[in-house]
Structure 1
């Protein structure tokens, strides 16, 4: 009987490898067809991989925390019965993303997609490979960038993973044992004394304090947040917007909207629509930076920061947002938010955003200074809508009225976006939100 090779499938266009989180079966166990066999993590999502066949596991080739390239054999299975088309099954299990989705459930432990992105440095551009058999995972690259490790230093570290693969523990051990502090800097100016910066000492009271080790997701979040701040010179602009018309229209129509569409009407679809319309007027806000090149995207894919039950954030993407009306946007926004909350987002639903929004008002914040979702160049935060007295102009002169006010903040990459462009774009978003809603079912 032919043995079946259970391989690491390709779960997204940019996926090259994944880390094993845990095996749900052991050698000698029987697995049913389409039964979850292993949990893995990419730099985008965690996912459960199911066996395409029924049989007995005869070998497991990689262990927990191993990083496995796409197409490598994870386990060997002795089929329950002869499989005449095992090759076809195997091909589907690792080369056809759509077929794979029918037997894999994706979890939403996404890194802030706020802000998980591939790190565009020399290591990652050249397939993140050192030597002949040592790949660099996005986590290793993020750590190396944060700690200012050179390629030569990484090459000098002995990897403890499979085939000499560098693990994060290898890098941390190397950093701990270095003979000089990373933060030490010598001033070369003649006559100036050597200055050394040392990290502030952390005071730990063993009787009262306790230590919580960052899990894998939190480490990735930390790495990508630092990477974004180190990559893009962030500048944040603010404006105040009068959304009285929008707030009143929503209040008056949300019951009817639900009756006709079976969808809840939140403010988020209006935010998405306003940003999409503004981008059509200012296309240079819808770009990515690749070294010295600016990539202007024709499609407008808006990332939508969404809170997860775990406390993390994920950024599902509303594709081609400028081509959809409020009903379509409401349906998609609600669907993506529900998929995020129930851990059912698929990899393609968190990839490809060209500009991102974050509704910080949901958490009661008046405004925010969000971090750019690399490799984008802008992210907009929508603050809490709050009623307060405002001076308004009327035909009879200035009057004081109760208005629904909101702050918008735009963080942008000053390498490619200047204040005039950013301010004009943000003002356009505000103007669109202030307009009276013109919508017919």
Structure 2
């Protein structure tokens, strides 16, 4: 027998660490080659880390929510061969308190080998591997486990919570705890601390007032997802950081619509890809960033960083209602066919949660398509540390004045609004408006006879 160190692999040049979100295997379980062992999160991307060898998981060196550096050993796998053996250096990489917790988890796992395996996937509540092992050993059902009050972070059940539950003589069919935990939601208000009010609101409230949000018996209390919390914090931080200003412009995209309708079937037949409006818009934005490079910047304190590469973030809605922003790297170097392939690939893998951490890094400007959901225009929040974001509104057929050499007349045109949010600390109204106008001019000048 030999021992193999499973390390956190590199996930891209700009990714140095990740958060361990879920253990998919328990100590003592057999592992096959390329089988996922644990899940990690970097920013908003979740990824599975597979085993490089076949064997048995004998040690976990990190707990859920721990931050792991690339190259650190995360788990020890016992193998039958000698070829994969590596020197174990867990003491140098892992804090003593973490090792103590791991040893306790291993001990519980050894004591419960004969205990029938229980499935805790039916609940959305988080439980650490140690708590799960204790629950299995004590034969606590998932329904009963869900009723145990948690004193840990965000109401999580700790080792002491479940041991106290067991010590009080409760078993898998115990009902008193379920009754005790059901009532506080109806009787105890949820307290949310608010920021100190500004001067014009102090007359209506005190500076240290706490807003109480009451959850009544008919209300549903929903825990925010990890991704939802990250997005919420990112949005609040952006509004607190940047001086948001918006410019709006109406764009006649009749030529774009007609060209796409004429070309899309041939494009799909020749390229094996659907031709949506998105790559066309991305091409326009890339050209505008090339024309106005001071929109392709970041602000670091009092220093402006002018980006060499044009990397456009493409906001994509996920099935669960959250949002993710994969990045089209070097967008200005792609032709329309290449842009369509990249856009379709990133959009597809976003929906399937298959993006790599590096594919949401290093964006220099962002585009979001609010028109997908019927919005005519929007006022998007800047994706920090960028200084601008463009919202694409819905394309609508509307009556419009058409100017010709023979006079003006009313006709049906396909039009849309684009909304440009920019950071007024470094982007003035002239630049912000000229950039939006450049995008509009490019789209309105689209050649209806253009070849792919």
TM-score, normalised to structure 2's length? 0.73
How big is the shift at 1:251?
A: 0.9
How big is the shift at 1:195?
A: 4.8
Q: Equivalences for 1:235-384 in 2 at 5 Å?
A: 235-384=245-394
How big is the shift at 1:214?
A: 1.0
Query: Is the contact made by 1:392 and 1:401 (CA closer than 8 Å) also made in structure 2?
Result: yes
Alignment deviations for residues 145-178 of structure 1 (CA, whole Å, 9 cap, x no partner): xxxxxxxxxxxxxxxx9xxxxx9659xxxxxxxx
Hey, what's the Cα distance between the residues in 1 that align with 2:393 and 2:386? 21
Name the structure 1 match of 2:19: 19
Instruction: Pick the structure with greater CA Rg.
Output: 2
3-state SS in 2 of match to 1:3: strand
Hey, what's the Cα distance between the residues in 2 that align with 1:425 and 1:317? 20
Query: Is the contact made by 1:186 and 1:195 (CA closer than 8 Å) also made in structure 2?
Result: no
How big is the shift at 1:253?
A: 1.5
3-state SS in 1 of match to 2:11: coil
How big is the shift at 1:200?
A: 4.6
3-state SS in 2 of match to 1:212: coil
Q: Equivalences for 1:8-407 in 2 at 5 Å?
A: 8-83=8-83, 86=86, 169=154, 183-184=195-196, 195-196=206-207, 198=209, 200-206=211-217, 208-407=218-417
How big is the shift at 1:412?
A: 0.3
Query: Is the contact made by 1:186 and 1:194 (CA closer than 8 Å) also made in structure 2?
Result: no
1:440 partnered with 2:446: no
Alignment deviations for residues 347-393 of structure 1 (CA, whole Å, 9 cap, x no partner): 22211111110111111110111111111100000100000101121
How big is the shift at 1:433?
A: 0.6
3-state SS in 1 of match to 2:413: strand
- Which ranges in structure 2 are unaligned for 5 or more consecutive residues? 90-96, 99-127, 129-151, 156-192
Hey, what's the Cα distance between the residues in 1 that align with 2:404 and 2:3? 81
Supply the RMSD in Å over aligned alpha carbons. Answer: 2.8
Name the structure 2 match of 1:158: none
How big is the shift at 1:215?
A: 1.8
Alignment deviations for residues 212-241 of structure 1 (CA, whole Å, 9 cap, x no partner): 011211111111111111111111110001
Hey, what's the Cα distance between the residues in 1 that align with 2:208 and 2:247? 32
Hey, what's the Cα distance between the residues in 2 that align with 1:238 and 1:183? 32
How big is the shift at 1:197?
A: 6.2
Hey, what's the Cα distance between the residues in 2 that align with 1:24 and 1:320? 36
Alignment deviations for residues 282-302 of structure 1 (CA, whole Å, 9 cap, x no partner): 000000111111111121111
3-state SS in 2 of match to 1:299: coil
How big is the shift at 1:397?
A: 1.4
With over 3 angstroms needed to count, the CA separation of the structure-2 counterparts of 1:57 and 1:434, relative to structure 1, is same
TM-score, normalised to structure 1's length? 0.74
How big is the shift at 1:84?
A: 5.1
With over 3 angstroms needed to count, the CA separation of the structure-2 counterparts of 1:199 and 1:426, relative to structure 1, is farther
Name the structure 1 match of 2:113: none
Hey, what's the Cα distance between the residues in 2 that align with 1:243 and 1:186? 44
With over 3 angstroms needed to count, the CA separation of the structure-2 counterparts of 1:293 and 1:265, relative to structure 1, is same
